[in-house]
Amino acid sequence: MKDTGLHGVDAETRMVFRADCPSRPILDQIADKWSMMVMALLERPTRFNELKRSLEGITQRVLTQTLRRLERNGMIHRTVLPTSPVGVEYSLTPLGESLREPFGHLYDWTVEHSEEIQSSQRAYDARVDA
């Protein structure tokens, strides 16, 4: 079923991203930048406000939503610390840990190719503006 590492193509019919493809709903849930960044930061257990400080530009509301979704999908675990005032610590589950590898490859790719992409954007914009 794999051939080049992506979805397969069988002999006659192309494998397509039909509504019932199992990857569809999952990509819906995890393929967004904040989720990826949160997962990246959770190398170690981390408190809510530390995450917020690390994710410049995110609002409390969106961070909460992102964390809840990741928790629902089994990627992270939420631990309430018996401190006063209450503290909450987020950590990766084994499932979430296993996702860090593919995410890591993608992150590394973005860093490696950021110059090339920016230069492509400039070239495209120059073409369009003209």
Which residues sit at the interface with its own copies, rule CB under 8 A?
Answer: 2-7, 9, 14, 16-19, 22-24, 26-33, 36-37, 39-41, 43-44, 53-57, 71-74, 95, 98-111, 113-114, 116-117, 119-121, 124-125
Residues 9-68 binding DNA (CB under 7 A) are: 47-50, 57-62, 64-65, 67-68
Q: Cβ 98 to its own copies, closest distance in Å? A: 7
- On whether the CB atoms of residues 48 and 86 are closer than 8 A, the answer is no
Residue with tokens 């397969």: 8
Over the window 63 to 102, marking each residue x when it contacts DNA by CB under 7 A and - when it does not, the resulting string is -xx-xx---------x------xxxxx-------------
Q: How far is CA 94 from CA 8, 45, 67, 112, 117, in A?
A: 27, 13, 16, 28, 33
When the beta carbons of 19 and 84 are compared against its own copies, the nearer one is: 19
Q: Which does 79 bind (CB under 5 to 8 A by kind): its own copies, DNA, none?
A: none
Q: How far is CA 11 from CA 1, 18, 112, in A?
A: 11, 18, 35
SS3 helix, strand, coil % of the chain, rounded to 5? 55, 10, 35
